[in-house]
Amino acid sequence: MNEQFKRHRRLRSSAAMRSLVRENELKMDDFIYPLFIMEGEDIKNEVPSMPGVYQISLDHLKEEAEELRSLGIRAVMLFGVPNEKDEQGTGAFSESGIVQQATRLIKKEVPELLVVADTCLCEYTSHGHCGVIHNHDVANDESLQLLAKTAVSQAEAGADIIAPSNMMDGFVAVIRRALDEAGHKNIPIMSYAVKYASAFYGPFRDAADSTPQFGDRKTYQMDPANRREALREAESDVEEGADFLIVKPAMSFLDIVRDVRNNFDTPVVAYNVSGEYSMVKAAALNGWIDEKELVLEKLTAMKRAGADLIISYFAKDVAKWL
Ligand code: PBG
């Protein structure tokens, strides 16, 4: 046999051989777990479209945070589900807002768990948009002022990382300045730099009660058809002072994760969003796929694409599997 071909199977011959040459691996340090905190008492509601994900009230939070720590999860991302909403989304920046209270509680009870605060107004506005409305559209610069107040109030409550997700132009610059002026120079910004207007957010909007009451988010979130635009978004956020860059959603946008990784040295975060979770859970509950194998495969693919960190509702499952 002197045929000239390569024998790639040599390196796949056993589990030990495969692990020796494995290029990418998941570890629990890579994960951020999203939590939905609801105003009220003794609430633990499973989100119907997201089996295994709960809206919880503050009185369940300590237990939840302790469980996450014991699973080896290092960071949570907090979303608030307030009782009252208004035009301006004032609940987002109130000192006694639900995220501010949740942050203080975690920092008191489980201080080593990092708190990433999602900085947006959509859960708090009566119209469900991510900023204030003028002439039937979200007004950019007016919204920035409210976001800056939100970020500062989250930092004052003890948030370790500020994660603005509302896709207004200039949000990193304005939030950075506001944090610095308020004495929070060392609080990093994890920018949702590249956030597409995606149908994959549907289940999240049930969980966070943040569906827009009119129109959609296409005047501020990006068109999923666009690739080069992602680099322009990422570039301006880096210039404005972003410390991390989020690409969202992850699964259908791994080309973008790779582009961002190749063009910037900033840590890259892939957001494995709600719809990506729900699809897998639905198929798993029907017995149509091997959930563990599939989830580990797709999360590893995010790392392979260049993500340093992954925000995922699967983080708890992964902790049990790894
Ligand atoms: C808030 C926000 C959204 C998500 C994270 N932050 C919803 C949206 O933009 O409509 C979606 C996360 C997910 O689907 O898991 N702006």
- Report the pLDDT value the prediction gives residue 174, as an integer from 0 to 100: 98
For residue 178, the tally of other CB atoms under 10 A from its CB is 20
Identity at 7, one-letter amino acid code: R
In a domain, 252, yes or no: yes
User: Which residues are annotated as part of the binding site for Mg(2+)?
Assistant: 233
- The enclosing domain of 99 has a CATH number of 3.20.20.70
- Known catalytic residue at 316: no
204 Cβ below 6 A of ligand 1: yes
CA contacts within 13 A on the Cβ side of 229: 11
In a domain, 9, yes or no: no
In a domain, 1, yes or no: no
In a domain, 125, yes or no: yes
In a domain, 12, yes or no: no
List per-block mean pLDDT (blocks of 10 residues) for the chain, which spans 322 residues: 87 98 97 98 97 98 98 98 94 96 98 97 94 92 97 98 96 98 98 97 92 92 98 98 98 98 98 98 98 98 98 98 95
Parallel/antiparallel/unpaired status of strands 75-81 and 114-119: parallel
Mutating to test ligand 1, I would choose from 99, 195, 210 the residue with most ligand atoms within 8 A of its C-beta, which is 210
Q: Which residue has the tokens 């995010």?
A: 302
Domain count, the chain: 1
- Its domain, for residue 208, covers 27-321
**Closest Cα to atom 6 of ligand 1:** 165
In a domain, 5, yes or no: no
- Report the pLDDT value the prediction gives residue 2, as an integer from 0 to 100: 66
257 Cβ below 6 A of ligand 1: no
- Report the pLDDT value the prediction gives residue 73, as an integer from 0 to 100: 98
Which residue in the list 85, 149, 195, 303 is annotated as catalytic? 195
- Report the pLDDT value the prediction gives residue 68, as an integer from 0 to 100: 98
- Report the pLDDT value the prediction gives residue 45, as an integer from 0 to 100: 96
* Residue 48 DSSP code: T
Task: Please provide residue 314's backbone torsions phi and psi, each rounded to the nearest 5 degrees.
Answer: -85, 0
In a domain, 268, yes or no: yes
In a domain, 19, yes or no: no
- Report the pLDDT value the prediction gives residue 3, as an integer from 0 to 100: 81
| Ligand 1 centroid – CA 291 distance (Å) | 24
pTM across the whole model: 0.97
